[in-house]
Structure 1
């Protein structure tokens, strides 16, 4: 990155992730005013992408490594988002960090590989 533009501003930080995933939960819980669709979609895309990356990482290791986290297959997307939002709210001093790092930390803590 050049100049004064930080990686977290370009790639998104925990504040943006908390905002979009809170919007997703409002949509899921039907407690929003109908204006959360785009932000909710951003959260869905991010959480799904992080989960997919984790699966690919494990697969390309030839079975020698597990992923960074091990979410049971029956855990629905809504639960993953709730775990992530809970982690972000519990760690407000970390919200300036990259979305990817925070997501990996949240899922590694909640869904450790055994």
Structure 2
């Protein structure tokens, strides 16, 4: 007869998530990078914002991170809304004459 005790369940707060900059965080980074790239392409095509052609994707991602750091009160919004706000603010299209 076993006298072992069952291990208590892990609470959500105890679960560890891979850190963004850790080797285990490559998949979340890849997903986020692809999502930002897709929204950048779509926004440029429909004229929501106008990223410079020479702007590398890393710069666009930095713009999104800076926006998130400076606007923590908005983090309840969806990724679509947050990324759009960041890119519209950073790369507005010139006014049409």
Shorter-chain-normalised TM-score: which range? 0.7 to 0.9
Task: Considering fraction of residues, name the structure with more helix.
Answer: 1
RMSD: 1.5
Which stretches in structure 1 are left out of the alignment for 5+ residues?
1-21, 27-32, 58-66
- TM-score (norm: length of structure 2): 0.72
Specify the alignment match of 1:34 in structure 2: 23
Aligned-pair CA distance for 1:81: 0.5
Aligned-pair CA distance for 1:52: 1.9
- TM-score (norm: length of structure 1): 0.62
Runs of 4+ in 1 over 3 A off after TM superposition: none
Q: How many residues align?
A: 76
Structure showing greater Rg: 2
More relative contact order, 1 or 2 (CA 8 Å, 6+ apart):
1
